[in-house]
């Protein structure tokens, strides 16, 4: 007589989802009644042209986020469907990291030189190109698709933020910084919401005909975005290469505060990238069956909650200096990853730690964007962001090679690297704060 062994299934904690949703709602609804902010993105006292831009920009940014999210959610399922083995998946990650390191590092500088509109159009054209490839060939070159999508991700990380900031400084607005603060956390909030939406869209399209429906939908979004950018975006002529080179050396290479800020940004990028590669293997190592698709929205919802805390800590009743806010948040997130690095196998604890980690990331991202507004000239912002991601891409490539090919390090070691990086970012914020006491924020932008 045979023995049937039933596998245990770990069920998602529904009250946690409800708590995150309610907390986000209360944080947004209650904030205007307790904040001394002068203006908000929905404040009718702002110039009508700026209000129209903000709302159109957020819609465009959500569309771009959905395009990015569809391939990130759908990619692993697609590879499994076509029988791609684990070693080949590792190769695609290595190809992506190499492309981001060799080409993505300089895309920000290219956008500053030729114009952000052209590079943002490149983002949409690359998505359109990959979609057309997948529509024509059911199984196109993985290498080519990985390179194109890694470049779109690199552009996504700097182009939209730079565009938004430059447009705000075209308007003669007395409370410009308050309006920018609103946009920073709203971008993080809507990005996470759009990624959740992309998961829902991907699940729906998979049920129809995923080989054709997903690239068709993405191609449609890319075409709409191309038309919008072409019609709506007007930008002033960029600086010459000689002028840009001199300015970049003066304000970026010779300013230690930019180095501190860039290292912090790099540490965040590495820790987040490492997390999204390793979170699923870390959770399923417990041995129980887990519905990963139900856990994914929890992380993004936690990131949304963290972003809603930004106005409370920056302009609201809990107002503190941005460097202090980042210092404490980096320490918290670093310790969270350090706990995970001990390879604790209880799924419930891991999910809770990962949710707290993403709440920290949701607060860190708008804070770093705010500091860039203080320290980085607008005409150099794209180059500074893309250059600061180079150490993270190099470290990620090293870890993928050592783990995927040489088997010389464990997943827990990579997570520990992410935690140590975040703790080092906290040290950077301490030194940045000390330098600010000696020479207060040098805001390059005239009000």
At 325-349, the pLDDT tens digits run 999 999 999 999 999 987 666 888 8
Check whether 63 has a pLDDT greater than 80: yes
Instruction: Label residue 39 by pLDDT band (50, 70, 90).
Output: very low
Cα–Cα distances (Å) from 258 to 185, 325, 381, in that order, read: 22, 18, 11
Check whether 89 has a pLDDT greater than 80: no
pLDDT (0 to 100) of residue 423: 96
Range 244-259 average pLDDT: 88
pLDDT, tens digit (0-9, with 9 covering 90-100), for 122-139: 999 999 998 888 888 766
- Taking the C-alpha atoms of residue 340 and residue 338, their distance in angstroms, rounded to an integer, is 5
Q: Which two tokens stand for residue 369?
A: 């964007």
pLDDT (0 to 100) of residue 231: 82
Beta bridge partners of 290: 10
Check whether 385 has a pLDDT greater than 70: yes
Instruction: Give me the domains of the chain, ranges plus CATH numbers.
Output: 43-238 (1.20.1250.20), 241-439 (1.20.1250.20)
Where is pLDDT greater, at 429 or 43?
429
pLDDT (0 to 100) of residue 90: 80
Where is pLDDT greater, at 442 or 209?
209
pLDDT (0 to 100) of residue 281: 83
CB 420 within 8 A of CB 266: no
Check whether 6 has a pLDDT greater than 50: no
- Taking the C-alpha atoms of residue 425 and residue 276, their distance in angstroms, rounded to an integer, is 20
In degrees rounded to 5, what are phi and psi of residue 289?
A: -75, 135
pLDDT (0 to 100) of residue 284: 79
Beta bridge partners of 10: 290
**Range from 43-47, 77-81, 152-156, 174-178 carrying the lowest mean pLDDT:** 43-47
Which is it for the CA torsion 121, 124, 130, 131, positive or negative? Answer: negative
Check whether 402 has a pLDDT greater than 70: yes
Instruction: Label residue 220 by pLDDT band (50, 70, 90).
Output: very high
Check whether 431 has a pLDDT greater than 70: yes
Q: Which of 184, 156, 193, 179 is nearest to 304 (CA)?
A: 193
pLDDT (0 to 100) of residue 332: 96
Where is pLDDT greater, at 405 or 276?
276
pLDDT (0 to 100) of residue 210: 64
pLDDT (0 to 100) of residue 46: 62
Q: Exposure of 87 by Cβ count < 10 A (0-12 exposed, 13-18 middle, 19+ buried)?
A: exposed
Check whether 317 has a pLDDT greater than 80: no
pLDDT (0 to 100) of residue 47: 67
Instruction: Please count the residues of the chain.
Output: 447
Instruction: Label residue 36 by pLDDT band (50, 70, 90).
Output: very low
CB 168 within 8 A of CB 153: no
pLDDT (0 to 100) of residue 388: 94
**Range from 77-81, 254-258, 398-402 carrying the lowest mean pLDDT:** 77-81
pLDDT (0 to 100) of residue 37: 45
Q: Which two tokens stand for residue 416?
A: 């520990």
The mean pLDDT value of the chain amounts to: 83
pLDDT, tens digit (0-9, with 9 covering 90-100), for 162-187: 988 888 877 655 456 778 888 999 99
Q: Which range, 10-19, 29-38, 343-352, 411-420, has the best average confidence (pLDDT)?
A: 411-420
Range 354-376 average pLDDT: 94
Q: Which range, 91-95, 344-348, 433-437, has the best average confidence (pLDDT)?
A: 91-95
pLDDT, tens digit (0-9, with 9 covering 90-100), for 198-208: 888 877 877 67
Q: b/e map of 200-229 (b: 16 or more CB within 10 Å)?
A: ebbeebbeeebeebbbebbbebbeebbebb
Instruction: Label residue 287 by pLDDT band (50, 70, 90).
Output: low
């Amino acid at each position: 007589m045979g023995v049937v062994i039933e596998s245990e299934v770990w069920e998602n904690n529904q009250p946690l989802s409800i708590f995150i949703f309610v907390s986000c709602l209360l944080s947004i609804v209650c904030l205007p009644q307790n904040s001394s902010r002068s203006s908000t993105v929905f404040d009718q006292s702002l110039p009508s042209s700026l209000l129209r831009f903000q709302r159109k920009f957020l819609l465009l940014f959500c569309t771009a986020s959905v395009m990015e999210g569809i391939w990130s959610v759908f990619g692993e399922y697609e590879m499994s469907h076509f029988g791609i083995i684990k070693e080949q998946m590792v190769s695609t990650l290595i190809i992506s990291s190499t492309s981001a390191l060799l080409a993505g590092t300089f895309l920000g500088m290219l956008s500053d030189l030729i114009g952000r509109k052209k590079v943002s159009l490149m983002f949409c054209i690359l998505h359109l190109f990959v979609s057309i490839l997948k529509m024509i060939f059911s199984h196109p070159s993985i290498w080519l698709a990985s390179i194109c999508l890694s470049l779109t991700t690199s552009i996504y990380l700097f182009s939209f933020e730079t565009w938004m900031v430059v447009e705000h400084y075209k308007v003669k607005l007395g409370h410009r910084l308050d309006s920018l603060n609103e946009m920073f956390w709203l971008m993080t909030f809507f990005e996470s919401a759009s990624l959740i939406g992309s998961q829902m869209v991907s699940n729906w399209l998979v049920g129809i005909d995923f080989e054709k429906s997903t690239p068709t939908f993405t191609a449609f979004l890319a075409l709409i975005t191309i038309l919008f950018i072409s019609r709506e975006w007007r930008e002033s002529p960029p600086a010459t290469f000689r002028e840009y080179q001199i300015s970049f050396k003066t304000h970026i290479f010779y300013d230690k505060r930019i180095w501190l800020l860039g290292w912090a940004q790099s540490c965040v990028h590495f820790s987040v990238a490492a997390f999204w590669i390793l979170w699923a293997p870390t959770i399923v190592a417990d041995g129980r069956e887990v519905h990963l698709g139900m856990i994914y929205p929890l992380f993004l919802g936690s990131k949304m909650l963290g972003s809603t805390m930004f106005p409370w800590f920056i302009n609201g009743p809990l107002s503190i200096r941005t460097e202090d806010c980042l210092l404490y948040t980096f320490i918290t997130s670093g310790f969270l990853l350090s706990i995970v690095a001990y390879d604790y196998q209880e799924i419930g604890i891991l999910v809770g730690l990962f949710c707290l980690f993403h709440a920290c990331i949701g607060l860190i991202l708008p804070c770093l964007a705010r500091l860039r507004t203080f320290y980085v000239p607008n005409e150099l912002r794209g180059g500074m962001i893309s250059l600061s991601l180079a150490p993270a891409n190099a470290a990620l490539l090293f870890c993928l090679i050592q783990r995927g090919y040489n088997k010389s390090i464990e997943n827990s070691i990579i997570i520990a690297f992410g935690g140590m990086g975040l703790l080092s970012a906290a040290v950077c914020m301490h030194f940045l704060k000390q330098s600010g006491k000696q020479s207060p924020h040098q805001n390059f932008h005239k009000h």
